[in-house]
Structure 1
């Protein structure tokens, strides 16, 4: 039975949505909610892990964006509901409007910057109001109660993640202003905004488990007892989605990105020692709205 729940997710590149929110997307699709994903760029500047596809790189054939468009289609197919319902996937402004900005580090490595070879239409250089208006139109059309995006640092500093946060935050505000550009649709206010997070305790548990299984290089070889700058303290986690029933789908969607994810070694190899459930739990911070009674297990609870 379909519900009136509408979930909107704003992500920077193909694969970001699956890594951080794939199980959540599959869960709400299976429950009959409308799930809309907006991808801001095609990831044209990404690294390529498949040697025979190296020619797609930006400094060669510059065809990675088109290839990743096919990858995200396959990933979304993997997340579809048992009744065949699929994610309503959109490109911000249309495919190719905004290009991947790439990423490099400042000399003191305190912050990330766009790649020096980023083009004029790189997402980092986008006019904020223009980009937000593209999203306002979508917000007013699909009328989500819940929006999911990144925090102000883009979770790890990538310029496109930071810009996605800015665009999503601004668009959510503008969409709720009754007098703002009425031609973009009927005014709509989003009840809750969440930021994707990685709970510190859960990450430490995973790291200890993969180390115990002899897979010390999984998750980039991070030390389970050391600093974890990408993790969020548990006290700041407002919601945890247990996507265990959808873990197989999430991992299948991750495998749809062979140019970006090596599931056999390194960062994404947890499935080797922990199985697909290693990726089942997804966490969120609350950026707008209230969470009464502690951490939520349903992003729509009480709405």
Structure 2
């Protein structure tokens, strides 16, 4: 039996849950909103589903930790995530099922994707019950995860989207009674990159560090502007966001000045002072002249 109500919080009692696939995803895509809402006394929880064991390491200092060598990268990335979350003002890290329960799946078609411990191969009931338990424990008013494409198509991101979407629906029912009392979040958002913001950020790229390159047309993922429902200004917390990104040093490098960053492919990407979202569940709250919200909690309360 499903419930047909949505709990409404007091303005001073707001809780935000973000579910990410790997360490660094939280900082790259949602570091600004994490820091902003922590600063507004929102209770923010970040849950990560894997240790990021299959990440490609930048530079030589930690290269031997990689999965095809010592296979110790996941443990080191726990430290990186801890530093990043501290910079954003969040306690943690918190891993779904406990640290190391599920493994980074790597990209589709790689040997890592065949590992029985890989997140893409997780038992669906076990994964859903773990997510439902988190939702019922935290009782978030807003949940943030990826869009159906997983942002850029990573199988782990897609699996997070699918499972979080299902868990949100289940968390308000009487299923999984051992996972806690039912709770229905008021809103679910997908973190996305707005096409015009990406185009503007790329156009603003000047000189790049040696070895970096500009992205090719269409190389970086984005969504059409008219799909974006919510744009959150994070300019006041950009320093915290950049510090968190830099904490993931095996995976991310910032350009001098902090206007761009690159992953192991050394493709320059803009660091956005506004983070974009698509409302996937719930109702739009107050909107501005553009027809968009500027607050993930708009309309709640």
On whether the aligned pair clears a TM of 0.5, the verdict is: yes
Q: TM-score range by the shorter chain?
A: 0.7 to 0.9
The alignment yields a C-alpha RMSD, in angstroms, of: 2.2
> How many angstroms does 1:88 deviate by?
5.0
> Aligned with 2:62: secondary structure?
helix
TM-aligned CA distance change 1:135 to 1:62, over 3 Å: same
- The alpha carbon displacement at 1:227 in A equals 3.6
For residue 246 of structure 2, the aligned residue among 227, 252, 255 is 255
Inter-CA distance 218–135: structure 2 relative to 1 (3 Å threshold): farther
CA contact (8 A) 2:143 2:189 kept: yes
Match in the other structure for 1:289: 282
Q: Does residue 302 of the first structure (1) align with residue 295 of the second (2)?
A: no
Q: Distance in 1 between matches of 2:188 and 2:92?
A: 19
Q: 1:223-234 maps to which residues of 2 (within 5 A)?
A: 223=216, 226-227=217-218, 230-234=221-225
Question: Could you tell me how far apart the structure 1 residues matched to 2:220 and 2:272 are?
Answer: 19
Name the SS for the 2:111 alignment partner.
coil
Secondary structure of the corresponding residue to residue 136 of structure 1: helix
Shift of residue 114, structure 1, vs aligned partner: 4.7
- Tell me, in whole angstroms, the C-alpha distance in 2 between the residues paired with 1:114 and 1:91: 25
Partners of 2:33 and 2:220 lie apart in 1 by: 24
Name stretches of at least 5 consecutive residues in structure 2 with no aligned partner. 1-10, 263-269
Post-superposition CA distance 1:230-267 (Å, at most 9, x none): 111111101111100100000000110110012238xx
TM-score relative to the length of structure 2: 0.86
User: 2:194 aligned to 195, 199, 207, which one?
Assistant: 199
Bigger shift: residues 289-298 or 187-196: 289-298
Gaps of 5+ in 1: 81-85, 104-112
Selected match of 1:72 from 78, 81, 84: 81
**Alignment-derived partner of residue 63 in structure 1:** 72
Structure 1 stretch displaced more, 164-173 or 68-77 = 164-173
Number of residue pairs matched? 277
Cα distance in 1 for partners of 2:275, 2:84 equals: 17
Judge conservation of contact 2:252–2:261 (CA < 8 Å) in 1.
Answer: no
SS in structure 1 at match of 2:57: coil
- Residue 222 of structure 1 and its aligned partner are, at CA, apart by 2.2
1:244 equivalent to 2:235? Answer yes
- The residue that corresponds to 2:4 in the other structure is none
Find the counterpart in structure 2 of residue 101 from structure 1. 105
CA shift, 1:135, in A, is 1.0
Render the CA deviation track for 1:64-96: whole Å, top value 9, x for unaligned: 00000000000011111xxxxx24542011011
Give 1:133-282 correspondences, 5 Å limit. Answer: 133-177=129-173, 179-210=174-205, 213-215=206-208, 221-223=214-216, 226-227=217-218, 230-264=221-255, 270=260, 278-282=271-275
Q: Provide Cα deviations, 1:13-51, integer angstroms capped at 9, x if missing partner.
A: 000010000010000101001101110000001101130
Superposed displacement of residue 53, structure 1 = 1.2
- The offset of 1:218, in angstroms, is 10
Shift, 1:271, TM fit: 6.6
2:95 is matched with which residue: 91, 97, 106? 91
CA contact (8 A) 1:218 1:269 kept: no
